Amino acid sequence: MEPLRREHLAGPMIVWIASVRQARDSLIFLEGSLDERDRERAARFRFAEDRERFVLGRGLLRKGLGRYLQRDAETVELAYTDRGRPFLADDETVQFSISHAHDLVAIALTAEARIGIDLEYVQSDLDFLGLAERIFSEGDLQAFRGLAETEAPSAFYRAWTRKEAYLKARGEGIAERLRQVSVSLNAEEVGSIRDGQDGSGAPTWRLIALPLPANYLGSVACDDPGKRLECSWVDLDQGKMIWRPCPTFSSRRGEGPERATSERFSSGRGTAGN
């Protein structure tokens, strides 16, 4: 995969998805791209799996930004909002979002638009109606109550990821706004949204379902409806990043796409850069 320029970010919504389990032996190579703040935060995690998810997410983010901005990943300077959300210090028109769930980590990148991403691991043994009553809008809740019991887990997580991706893209608090946002619960590729805060149907926003393995659901939200989704699965092999196109939305869950291309990335120890 040849290096791409900053201008490419103005076109699609770029999503990279990676497996923590598959990347575990390669995380030491990603750690070289982290800044001091990232490394200090990684060291504070009590559990190894939380640290691994953080390193993978921050490493992929820096590699992605470095790739499209044509910089070494370790030189990408991040700043932070009052809520602790990172942003690109010298170009706020470049937007990104990070999410992780269980074994998966994902980043979303674009420019000239807001973007948010959310992944969730589907558990089927929860009190979904009780949870829905706490975080769903009245419209969501009415639709949810009409579903068959077997449909409840997927519908709940689908709604959750759509709401959270949207609110993350807007840079707003999740907990206080979940009940103000209504979304479609069906399994369509492009979901709909209504924001009760201003009564709008949020016509400029797109909610795109991500093609993920079984037991995962995810969404990406963007306020430019003209942007297409450019989704890749990223495998890590020590000094290499290997991109594979994600299956289309209609593909069977869990099918692995064919390997597409690979590129050596910097370990922070003198290997080739982006």
How do residues 108-149 score in pLDDT, each as one tens digit? 999 999 999 999 999 988 999 999 998 898 889 999 999 999
Fold classification of 8-113+227-274 (topology level): Ribosomal Protein L22; Chain A (3.90.470)
> Helices 128-135 and 138-145 meet at what angle, rounded to 10?
160
**Rounded mean pLDDT of 42-69?**
94
* Structural domain boundaries in the chain: 8-113+227-274, 120-225
pLDDT at 256 over 60: no
Asked if the domains at 8-113+227-274 and 120-225 fall in one CATH topology, the answer is: yes
How does pLDDT run across 215-239, given as a tens digit for each residue?
999 999 999 988 999 999 999 998 6
| Torsion angle of C-alpha atoms 203, 204, 205, 210, degrees rounded to 10 | 100
Helix (H) or strand (E) holding 181: strand 181-183
Question: In the CATH hierarchy, which top-level class contains the domain 120-225?
Answer: alpha beta
What stretches of 206-250 adopt beta strand conformation (E)?
A: 206-209, 216-222, 229-237, 240-245
Please tell me the distance from the alpha carbon of residue 17 to that of residue 71, in angstroms, as a whole number.
21
> Scanning the structure block, which residue is given the tokens 């999740």?
174
Identify any residues that bridge with 15 across adjacent strands, giving them in sequence order: 108, 231
**Mean of per-residue pLDDT scores for the chain:** 84
pLDDT-wise least confident of 139-148, 240-249, 251-260? 251-260
Question: How confident is the model at residue 262, as a pLDDT?
Answer: 41
Question: What confidence score (pLDDT) does residue 198 get?
Answer: 66
Q: Does residue 273 carry a pLDDT above 50?
A: no
Model confidence at 274, pLDDT cuts 50, 70, 90, reads: very low
pLDDT-derived band at 1 (thresholds 50, 70, 90) equals very low
Average pLDDT over residues 193-222: 84
Tokens in use for 14? 């770029």
Q: Please give the Cα distance from 27 to 61 (Å, whole number).
A: 13
Query: Does residue 194 or residue 129 have the better pLDDT?
Result: 129
